[in-house]
Amino acid sequence: MPAQGRSRLPAMDDTVRYTVLALVVLAYVGGGVLVMVSAARAALTWSTGRRARRRPDAVDPALQQHAAAAMRTVAQLANVDPPRTQVVALLGASRGTGEVIVGDGGLAVTRFRPGQPPTVVFAQAALADLTPAALRSLAAHELAHVIGRARGSAAARYVWLLGYLLLMLIGLVLSVAALAAAPRLAGPAALATMLAAVAFLALQVAFDRREEIAADRFSITLTRDLAAAAELMGFYEEHLARPAPRGRLGGLRARFEQRWFATHPAHAVRLEAMRRHLVDQPSE
């Protein structure tokens, strides 16, 4: 009996060790995927801005004036100086078909460069295919981002990535140390690291969504035109939203991406937030 007990112990320890090793690998593969997704989002933002800068501005000069006038109007309502504006043919790669041609970078993006004033870059479709009221709604939304960046630190937006990488490094060191010194603790350490990484990413996505909702509320406070905001959201839905995936698996994947990785809330959620803000903040 004692000999049998001693013969089982090494086998049990090996099983625990391999299980813990699998958990560590799974945790850091999952963390690596999250890092790659975050890096891809940052690269997409950079690529959109770069393509906007390199694309020649072969647009009607009247559209440039139209964009500047819309921004001046909302800036005057906000009692701030209007940022610079620019109109380009497309933001990103072309996605539209037929009469309305849009880019996958959207209708407008605010470009921030160190040492230079911010510039709101509009796609030509925003000037050519939106009503003046919807254009003002879009301009007010971008103005909110300009004001928000002016009141905050530009570097703070990227601190989260440094913190995320630091979190993963600490978790890796602790998990490896636990694997060597106390294998039974390595599994919980790896699992805790993975859960913390997911929570960290979820907090960043939540922050981005809160920022978008705040910009929407700022916009509706200035324009007080929910119909214009609905027109703008409808344009995005019709011309910029990706087609809904087919099948149950595709639907689950789309909901998962929207839940964990989408930086913008669903359009229905944004419109409802603006509607409630109008009710809570009646005009004087």
Confidence of residue 97 (pLDDT cuts 50, 70, 90): low
- Return the pLDDT at 284: 56
pLDDT for 260-282, tens place per residue? 667 788 889 999 999 999 988 76
Prediction pTM value: 0.70
Distance CA 48, CA 240 (A): 15
pLDDT for 110-124, tens place per residue? 988 777 889 999 999
For residue 240, pLDDT beyond 70: yes
- Return the pLDDT at 260: 65
**Which has more confidence, 138 or 176?**
138
- Return the pLDDT at 226: 95
Confidence of residue 95 (pLDDT cuts 50, 70, 90): low
- Return the pLDDT at 266: 86
pLDDT for 44-77, tens place per residue? 555 555 554 444 446 788 999 999 999 999 999 9
Written as one letter, the residue type at 53 is R
For residue 22, pLDDT beyond 70: no
Confidence of residue 13 (pLDDT cuts 50, 70, 90): low
For the segment 229-256, the average pLDDT, to the nearest whole number, is 77
Structure tokens given for 71: 């921004």
For the segment 181-197, the average pLDDT, to the nearest whole number, is 70
Work out the angle between the directed axes of helices 61-78 and 132-151 (0-180°, nearest 10).
60
Confidence of residue 89 (pLDDT cuts 50, 70, 90): confident
Query: Percent of the chain at pLDDT above 70?
Result: 60
Confidence of residue 234 (pLDDT cuts 50, 70, 90): very high
Average pLDDT score over the chain: 76
Q: Decide if 106 contacts 93 (C-beta within 8 A).
A: no
Secondary structure string (H, E, C) spanning the chain: CHHHHHHHHHHHHHHHHHHHHHHHHHHHHHHHHHHHHHHHHHHHHHHHHHHHHHCCCCCCHHHHHHHHHHHHHHHHHHCCCCCEEEEECCCCCECCCCCCCCECCECEEEECCCCCCCEEEEEHHHHHHCCHHHHHHHHHHHHHHHHHHHHCCCCHHHHHHHHHHHHHHHHHHHHHHHHHHCHHHHHHHHHHHHHHHHHHHHHHHHHHHHHHHHHHHHHHHHHCCHHHHHHHHHHHHHHCCCCCCCHHHHHHHHHHHHHHCCCCCCHHHHHHHHHHHHHHCCCC
Structure tokens given for 203: 């907090």
For the segment 12-36, the average pLDDT, to the nearest whole number, is 60
